[in-house]
Each structure stands twice: as structure tokens, then as C-alpha cells.
């Protein structure tokens, strides 16, 4: 049976990845801090799809706990798909942002994701098979005041992912940057952002996001942007002069 290791599998997009992959025949290694929610996922997946969920609770901002997950990828039974999904984006004006929260965000969104990919790739390359999905954001293409750290971490994720995608071209291993827009997971509420100010047309469900990601991974794409309105916004941010795109993003961020 193929095995997928999913970080942030206790809720939202990661939870949906775990359930969707189990429905497609994967056994799951589920990583997040909340063991109870991971245990509930394991019971659910086993009952609904007859697949195994290996619960691996870890705070990925902690170097020691991260090392356990790295070891699972590098030296444990083969992992066919790594979904580097765990992430958060605290909203604050940078000069007022808690320095420890800034560091935790960079540790999770950047350091953990990078180290897990570094651990996963050598065995995949040796087998000439496997895939890594990096959950970035459509915000990775655009500066966004009050999310300075978040958008910078996601710009890293998309750029890093595209570079590694090209490095492994022709190796049998695939790498995808998934860049969702607003997705109905509760992420916004957890990150000091009022979702009622975003028009309904801009939202996707986690199920739709995961469906598009897996389709684009299958097609060998480097970057996946689910949703027509998100695709249009990303295209516009590439077309507009950088200063104009930045000022527009600032106006939107201030409105939100």
C-alpha cells in the first residue's frame, strides 16, 4: 500500500488531504500537535476506508520533535507522498508583532517544511518514485501589509518548491507548490482575520482544494492555484506593475 505523511493532519486542508488520500488507498502517517484529533482521524479513516493511520504527534517548531518526523521520512518504512501542510499566519503590524510568534511562524512554515523535504527526497530519488506537496498560498505571489511574515514565508515556500521541482525533473519524483486562496477551514478566525469581509465567490472548500492539488500533482505541474478567481488574481498580480500591485494589496489588507 502507498503511504502518505501529512503534516497538520488534525484539521483543515491537512485533515482533508489525509481523508482523501485514504479514500484513494493510501495508509497515512498523521502529524500535528493535537493527538486526540489525530486519534479521531485514525478511527474514522479505518472505519470508512479500511486504511491505517499511524499517529505521530509533534510540535514541528521544536527541533527535537521535528527530528523524530525527519527520521520517520529518512529511515523509516518508505513514504510515497509527503504533504507539507502545517502552517499558520498570525496577523499583526510587523513592528507590534510578538518576536517569539514571528520565530515560531518561520520555524513551522519554512524550517520544518524545508527539513522534512530534505529528509524525504533522498529515499524517493533512490526509488525513482514519490512526491512532495508544499502547501503554500496565493499570498506567496503578493506582498500583504499586516501579513508581512506570513506572505514572506509563503513566498519562500513557492520559490523553494519550484526550484526543487526543476532539480528533480526526470527523476520519477514530483514536487508541487499548492497555492490556495481563501479556504473554509477556520484558518482566518484562528489568525485574527474577519472572514465575513471576503466575498463568497472568493472561497473554496478544502475538498475542492485537495482535489485540484492531486490532479495537478498527477499532471506533473510545478504550481497549483485552485479556483478561477484565485487564478485571475495571481495572473493580475504578475501583470500589474509591482508598485501598483503592492498598493492594491495594502488597500485590501487595510479593508480586511
Ligand X SMILES: NC(=O)c1ccc[n+]([C@@H]2O[C@H](COP(=O)([O-])OP(=O)(O)OC[C@H]3O[C@@H](n4cnc5c(N)ncnc54)[C@H](OP(=O)(O)O)[C@@H]3O)[C@@H](O)[C@H]2O)c1
Q: Which residues bind ligand X (CB under 6 A)?
A: 7-8, 10-14, 32-34, 37, 59-61, 85-89, 108, 135, 137, 180, 182-183, 185-187, 190
Whole-number minimum distance, CB 105 to ligand X, in Å?
9
Residue number with the smallest Cβ distance to ligand X: 12
Task: Compute CA distances 235 → 230, 232, 240, 245, whole Å.
Answer: 9, 5, 9, 11
Quick one: which of 36, 237, 19 has its CA closest to 141?
A: 237
Whole-number minimum distance, CB 169 to ligand X, in Å?
25
Annotated catalytic residue, options 17, 26, 147, 150: 150
Closer CB to ligand X, 232 or 244, in the complex: 232
- The H-assigned helical ranges of the chain are 12-23, 35-49, 63-75, 99-106, 113-127, 148-167, 187-190, 206-218, 228-239, 242-255
Closer CB to ligand X, 125 or 207, in the complex: 207
Note if 156 is an active site residue: no
Which residues partner with 224 through β-bridges?
178
Whole-number minimum distance, CB 101 to ligand X, in Å?
11
Whole-number minimum distance, CB 212 to ligand X, in Å?
13
Closer CB to ligand X, 59 or 162, in the complex: 59
DSSP secondary structure string for all residues of 130-142: EEEEEE--GGGGS
Count CB neighbours of 38 within 10 A: 22
Closer CB to ligand X, 7 or 224, in the complex: 7
Residues forming the active site: 150
Amino acid at each position: 500500500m502507498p503511504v502518505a505523511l501529512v503534516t497538520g493532519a488534525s484539521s483543515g486542508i491537512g485533515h482533508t488531504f489525509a481523508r482523501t488520500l485514504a479514500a484513494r488507498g493510501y495508509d497515512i502517517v498523521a502529524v500535528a500537535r493535537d493527538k486526540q484529533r489525530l486519534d479521531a482521524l485514525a478511527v474514522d479513516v479505518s472505519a470508512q476506508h479500511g486504511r491505517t493511520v499511524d499517529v505521530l504527534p509533534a510540535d514541528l517548531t521544536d527541533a527535537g520533535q521535528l527530528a523524530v518526523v525527519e527520521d520517520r521520512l529518512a529511515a523509516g518504512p518508505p513514504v510515497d507522498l509527503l504533504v507539507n501542510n502545517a502552517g499558520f499566519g498570525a496577523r499583526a503590524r510587523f513592528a507590534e508583532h510578538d518576536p517569539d510568534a514571528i520565530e515560531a511562524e518561520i520555524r513551522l512554515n519554512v524550517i520544518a517544511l524545508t527539513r522534512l523535504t530534505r529528509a524525504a527526497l533522498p529515499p524517493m530519488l533512490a526509488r525513482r518514485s514519490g512526491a512532495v506537496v508544499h502547501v503554500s498560498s496565493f499570498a506567496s505571489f503578493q506582498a500583504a501589509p499586516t501579513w508581512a511574515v506570513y506572505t514572506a514565508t509563503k513566498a519562500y515556500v513557492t520559490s523553494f518548491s519550484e526550484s526543487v521541482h526543476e532539480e528533480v525533473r526526470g527523476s520519477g519524483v514530483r514536487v508541487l507548490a499548492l497555492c490556495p486562496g481563501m479556504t473554509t477551514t477556520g484558518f482566518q478566525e484562528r489568525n485574527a482575520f474577519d472572514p465575513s469581509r471576503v466575498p463568497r465567490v472568493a472561497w473554496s472548500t478544502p475538498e475542492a482544494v485537495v482535489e485540484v492539488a492531486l490532479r495537478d500533482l498527477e499532471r506533473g505541474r510545478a504550481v497549483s492555484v485552485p479556483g478561477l478567481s484565485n487564478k485571475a488574481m495571481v495572473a493580475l498580480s504578475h501583470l500589474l506593475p509591482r508598485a501598483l500591485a503592492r498598493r492594491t494589496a495594502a488597500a485590501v489588507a487595510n479593508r480586511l
